[in-house]
Amino acid sequence: MASDGKKPADAPSGSGSSSDASGQQTTKDMQRILDTLSPQQLSELIALNPALAQEVVQATGSSNPTPDQAAEMLKKMRLEDVMSGLAASGKNVKDMASYKFWATQPVPRFDENQAVPDGPLKIQKVEDISKEPAGLVSGFEWVTIDLTSDEEIKEVYELLNGHYVEDDDSTFRFNYSPSILRWAMMAPGWDKRYHVGVRASQSRKLVAFISAIPVHLRVRDQVITCSEVNFLCVHKKLRGKRLAPVLIKEVTRISNLEGVWQGLYTAGVVLPRPVSTCQYYHRPLNWQKLYEVGFSYLPHGSKPQYQVRKYAVPESTSTKGWRTMRAGDVAAVVDLQRRYAKKRYDIAPELSEAEVAHWLVPKVEPSGEQVVWTYVVEGADGKVTDFVSFYCVESSVIKNARHNVLRVAYLFYYATETGLAEPEDRAALKARLNALVGDALIMAKKEKFDVFNALTLMDNALFLDQQKFARGDGQLHYYLFNYRTKAISSGMDANGQLDEKHLSGVGLVLP
C-alpha cells in the first residue's frame, strides 16, 4: 500500500547501486537492446506497462500513437524510466544492476520474438543440479525456517514488518501477521525446505528470507507445476551484499531438485519480461481515516463530508441467497471456479479441493484473527451459483499521530454461472458482478476494513468504475520463470484505460 494508492512492489529485486561499474555496464547493455528493437517491438514493450503507455500518449498528444511515434518517444526517455514504467514521477526506478542478474536467468527477453511456441526456455536434469547451496559472504549462513514454531515465525514477521516493501514516501509498510504468513506460505503441498532464511553467524539474527509454495498453473492449454515465489526480504542494512539474487538462486535450486523447473512471481517494477501487467485500483470504505493518514486526498472544491457520503455503502446485502461459505461448499466452489477460469482466463491456477478449503473457507485462527472472507450465493435448488472472496493484509502507518494500522481488503477469487452462459451475455455478467462485488464491499465495511483493493485482472474492468474504485499509481507485473508464452491481456487498453471489451486473461491472484 502506498500513500498515493498503490501496493508496494514485492519484487525479487537486486540490491546495490546502478552507479557502480557493473550497473553502468548493464545500463549500456540494456540501452543497446532498446536500440535494436523495431518500432513494433517497442510498442509491445509500452503495451506491457499501462503507466508507460500514458507517458507516451501525453508526450505525443495522440490517444493512439503509431509504432514510430512510440519508438521515438521511448528512445528519448532515460532507460531507468523506461524500465520502471513511471517516467514522470520517477518512482520505483529499478536498480539497473539487477538486469545483469536476470540476463543470466531463463526468462524471456524484451527483444524476443513472441511468435515462438509456448514452452520452457531451458531443459535440465535433476542429476545436474547441485545438492548444496551456494556459499554466502563471510559472516552469514543458510537456515531453514520452521513456520510451525511461534518463535521462528515471529522472526519472519519482524523481518518483514521492518524491512519488507513500503511506499516511496515511507508512509506505509505491509504488516503481515503470523496468521496471514502461515496462510500464505503453508498451503497444501508446502514444504519447509522452501522457507529459506539467512542468519548472521554471530548474532543468529534473521537478516533475509524467501519462500515458495507449489502451484499447478494452467497457461493457455498447458498445465505446468510451478514454485510460486513470495516474501523475498533482505534487511535494509545488508542490501549492498547482493543477497537477493543469491536467495532467488537458492529457492530455484531447491525447486529444481524436486523436478520443478518453472516459477511464478510478481513485481511492482519491470523485469525481463512480464507476461502481463495489471493496474491497482482502490475503493475507500473509511474515507476519513484514509484522508487522515495521507492515503486519500481531498479533491479541489470538495469537502470531507462529501467524500464520506460518496463512499458510503448500504447497511445490508441485496443478493438473494447470499451467505458465508462453509466447508460443505468446497466441491461446488471448485467446480464453479474451474469452469469459470477455463472459459474466461489464459492463465489461472488449477485448484484442488484441499487448496480451495485452505484458501477460501473462512475460519477464525487461534489468535482470534480471520484472514479470508468468502461468500456464496445459493439458489432455490440448493446449488451454489456464485462466490466472491477477499483477504486481509494490514499495512502499518508510519509516523502518524492518530493511526498506526490500515485494514486493507484485497479482492481474491470469484466466479458466477452468469459468466458461463452460451452465448455470452456481457451485460448480464456486468450486472451480476456489480451486485456481487457491491455486497462484498458491504461485508468488508462491516468487518471494519478501511479500503478495498483490486487489480485490473479477471473480469474486474466490468465493475471497478461502477463500484467507485479509484485508480492507484501502482502496478503488478506477472512473471513466469523458465517458461515462454505470449503476452496476456491485463484489462487495460493501449491508453491505460479499463478495457471492458477485451477484459483480462489473468485469472491468478497471489496473496
Q: Per the structure block, which three cell numbers stand in for 135?
A: 556459499
120 is annotated as an active-site residue: no
Catalytic residue among 12, 50, 245, 511: 511
Peptide bond into 511 cis (omega under 30): no
- Residue 75, C-beta contacts closer than 8 angstroms, at least 6 positions apart: 34, 35, 42
Beta strands 451-455 and 206-219, pairing class: unpaired
Q: How many CB atoms lie within 10 A of CB 230?
A: 21
Task: With beta carbons less than 8 A apart as the criterion, state whether 197 and 142 touch.
Answer: yes
Q: Per the structure block, which three cell numbers stand in for 299?
A: 479533491
Task: With beta carbons less than 8 A apart as the criterion, state whether 463 and 418 touch.
Answer: no
Task: With beta carbons less than 8 A apart as the criterion, state whether 249 and 134 touch.
Answer: yes
- The 3-state DSSP class for residue 280 equals strand
Q: Per the structure block, which three cell numbers stand in for 330?
A: 468446497
Whole-number Å distance between alpha carbons of 446 and 407: 12
Alpha helices (H) in 128-280, listed in sequence order = 150-163, 178-185, 243-257
Look at residues 344, 377, 279, 286 and name the one whose alpha carbon lies nearest to residue 51: 279
Look at residues 207, 229, 228 and name the one whose alpha carbon lies nearest to residue 156: 207
Whole-number Å distance between alpha carbons of 84 and 80: 6
φ/ψ of 149, rounded to 5, equals: -85, 125
β strands within 36-187, DSSP E: 140-144, 172-175
Beta strands 262-267 and 222-234, pairing class: parallel
Look at residues 70, 96, 100, 97 and name the one whose alpha carbon lies nearest to residue 84: 96
Give the DSSP H/E element, type plus range, for residue 207. strand 206-219
What DSSP string runs through 16-46? S-TTSHHHHHHHHHHHHHHHHS-HHHHHHHH
**417 backbone φψ class: left, alpha, beta (φ>0; ψ -120 to 50):** alpha
CA distances 464 to 59, 300, 322, 508, Å, are 27, 23, 21, 17
β strands within 328-393, DSSP E: 347-349, 372-378, 384-392
Beta bridge partners of 215: 226
φ/ψ of 144, rounded to 5, equals: -100, 125
Task: List active site positions.
Answer: 511
